[in-house]
Chains A and B, each alone.
Chain A
Amino acid sequence: MPANAQRLLELADDELILGWRNSEWTGIAPMLEEDVAFSSIAQNEIGHARALYELAARELGTTADELAFDRSPDEYHCSKLVQLRLVPDWARTIARHVVYERADQQRLEALKDSDDAELAGLAAKIDREEAYHRMHAQMWAERLAEEPRFNEALAELEALVDARDEHLPELGELWDEMTMVRRSVAGATW
């Protein structure tokens, strides 16, 4: 696979899987505000994934939906960090949010300087939305700063950011759920 498509897929897969993980809080977050926040963040991440899959799809001669949903679980390039199913552990969920947003910011800064003008423009647009995710993460990091479970989770999860070669069994479970409708439609041509 071309290096550029590979890079796009890593990013898109991270955003898609994290979007699904965040949406697992919809309806059951510790307070209504967070129900709304995590649902909205999930919606944004999946929107970013779609735009990134579209760029990758053009390079690979396929479609965004096929990239998102028609690969087998071991073909995803997402970080182990986003694969983890963290419901109902709020402290670890916030720790992942903080760790992810920090790593994502560095990645987006680099992509904004990309020679590929379309990718640089998309990264800049994504970054404007992510600014709100970072502010949300910052508010929670301040609130949980003295909480040992949060601080332990930060250290534990930081180590997973660059782990992309290993797939956790829970990614397979998420994949089953995520692709169930698409795989079950009678007469589908995909």
Chain B
Amino acid sequence: MVTAEQVWEALAGIPDPEIPVISLVDLGVIRSVDVSGDQVRVEFTPTFLGCPALEVMRDAMTDRIAALGAEPEVRVITDDSWSTDRITPEGREKLRASGFAPPAPRENGGPQLVQLRSNAFRCPYCGSRDTALENIFGPTPCRSVRYCRSCRQPFEQFKTI
């Protein structure tokens, strides 16, 4: 019989379809795993509701759980109980090492324009805080684009959600 640990391990092998350096478990989007006999119920939250990778992720989870010989049920949770603060320390480091600045911690009231325009964000390449907001939006809904004035490198900043 399959155990919850085996399920978590299998899910940790699924890369995020849009940022493959990080797994779904690193992202913290898998909210719970419940094993009851052969039935495995997983709850997960999309980072953004319009994420086009939603179906791909759901199918990948279903396949991995079925490969363990269990019967999967994947539920999508659309409340605000996930935030980018749930990205694991390992996940944050993987993002940074690949040139994505990890999200700033979520504070009370959420992100503010004054914060995005400040020097609170560090360049993932050279570590400088002399960075500027180029565009609140980027190649996917979860990313902004910033520019490092120190090493003159544009980089992607994971949004705080």
Q: Which residues of A contact B (CB under 8 A)?
A: 33, 36-37, 39-41, 43-48, 50-51, 118, 121-122, 124-129, 131-132, 135-136, 138-139
Contact = CB atoms under 8 A, between A and B. Distances in A.
Interface string B133-161: 01111111100010000000000000101
A121 B137 contact: no
Contacts of A118: 79
A122 B137 contact: no
Given A131-B110, A132-B159, A50 B137 contact: no
Contacts of B159: 132
A121 B81 contact: yes
Interface in B110-125: 110-113, 116
Given A40-B138, A40-B141, A44-B141, A128 B110 contact: yes
B20 interface: no
A43 B136 contact: no
B113 A135 contact: yes
A131 B80 contact: no
Given A122-B78, A124-B79, A129-B161, A44 B116 contact: no
Given A121-B79, A135-B116, A139-B113, A41 B137 contact: yes
**What interface size band does chain B fall in?**
20 to 34
A132 B136 contact: yes
Given A44-B50, A135-B112, 20 more contacts: A36-B139, A40-B137, A40-B141, A46-B50, A47-B50, A48-B49, A48-B50, A50-B50, A51-B78, A122-B78, A125-B78, A125-B79, A125-B80, A128-B161, A129-B161, A131-B110, A135-B113, A135-B136, A138-B113, A139-B113
Contact of B49 (A39, A50, A131): A50
Contacts of A46: 50
A43 B140 CA distance: 9
Contacts of A124: 79-80
Interface string B79-101: 11101000000000000000000
Nearest to A39: B137
Contacts of B83: 128
B86 to A, nearest CB: 13
Contacts of A139: 113, 136
The 4 closest A-B pairs by CB, nearest first: A47-B50, A121-B79, A124-B80, A47-B49
Contacts of A47: 48-51, 141
B15 to A, nearest CB: 21
Nearest to B135: A33
